[in-house]
């Protein structure tokens, strides 16, 4: 079973991985964006870590709702509201349970990813974070390790795509040949899920 500690660990492992990978995320956002994806997520996940440290919520749902709210209020770029919505809606779908099993989490996370698609209007293949998140959701039934592999594969598969949403879409065909920064950070988020679970 997954408890509030597990979800806090998921957020702190994500924060640590964003610290390690921020330069790479910003470098990916340079040719097809405005070179701020790493710094956007650094600011956001530092705020998430700080608030979870200061006032640790005692249910899985509350951990994710609070984290999502922090991302929305601290990140100026598109990724803040999108990741914030992902966590907030996933958390809401978990309700007030003190512990949830992996199947319940998978269902809640699908709700969260669908909320991101509604908010941003991106479909699979539009070269966004959705291209890592949706394959991860589809693989979650097979476990966190399978979801991690699916998200990494999805992020790599954005390279030959032409962007249809977000800043990169302004480049039209010139967005082809670059890996999407948001899909790359989404793969980090999913990898942190497996790591937080000791996988």
> Residues in the site for ligand ADP, rule: CB under 6 A?
29, 33-34, 36-37, 40, 77-79, 82, 120-122, 128-130, 165-167, 180-183
The residue within the footprint of Mg ion, chosen from 14, 22, 28, 33 (CB under 5 A), is 33
Return the one option of Mg ion, ligand ADP, none that residue 61 interacts with (CB less than 5 to 8 A, by type): none
Give the Å distances, CA to CA, from 153 to 40, 104, 132, 159, 183. Answer: 24, 24, 8, 11, 10
- On the 0-12 / 13-18 / 19+ scale of CB atoms within 10 A, 96 is exposed
77 binds Mg ion (CB under 5 A): yes
99 binds Mg ion (CB under 5 A): no
Quick one: 149 or 186, whose CB is closer to ligand ADP? Answer: 186
Quick one: 44 or 57, whose CB is closer to ligand ADP? Answer: 44
Give the Å distances, CA to CA, from 36 to 30, 68, 103, 150, 157. Answer: 8, 19, 35, 25, 22
Residues in 12-31 that interact with Mg ion by CB under 5 A? 29
Region near Mg ion per CB under 5 A, out of 8-16, 52-60, 72-80, 151-159: 72-80
Report the residue closest to ligand ADP, judged by CB: 182
Give the Å distances, CA to CA, from 93 to 46, 68, 143. Answer: 25, 13, 19
Torsion of CA 119, 148, 125, 36, to 10 degrees: 60
Quick one: 33 or 68, whose CB is closer to Mg ion? Answer: 33
Distance, first Cα to last Cα, the chain: 15
Quick one: 57 or 81, whose CB is closer to Mg ion? Answer: 81
* Site of interaction with Mg ion (CB under 5 A): 29, 33-34, 36-37, 77
């Amino acid at each position: 079973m997954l408890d509030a500690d597990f979800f806090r660990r998921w957020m702190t492992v994500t924060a640590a991985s964003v610290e390690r990978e921020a330069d790479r995320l910003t470098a990916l956002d340079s040719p097809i964006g405005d070179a701020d994806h790493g710094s956007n997520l650094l600011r956001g996940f530092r705020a998430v870590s700080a608030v979870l440290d200061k006032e640790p919520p005692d249910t899985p749902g509350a951990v994710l709702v609070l984290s999502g709210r922090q991302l929305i209020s601290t990140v100026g770029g598109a990724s803040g509201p999108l990741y914030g919505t992902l966590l907030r809606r996933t958390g809401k779908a978990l309700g007030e349970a003190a512990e949830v099993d992996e199947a319940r989490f998978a269902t809640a996370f699908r709700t969260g990813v669908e909320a991101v698609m509604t908010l941003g209007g991106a479909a699979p293949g539009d070269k966004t974070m959705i291209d890592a998140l949706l394959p991860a959701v589809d693989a979650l039934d097979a476990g966190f390790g399978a979801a991690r592999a699916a998200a990494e594969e999805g992020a790599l598969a954005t390279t030959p795509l032409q962007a249809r949403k977000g800043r990169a879409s302004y480049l039209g065909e010139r967005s082809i040949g670059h890996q999407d920064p948001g899909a790359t950070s989404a793969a980090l988020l999913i990898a942190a899920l497996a790591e937080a679970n000791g996988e």
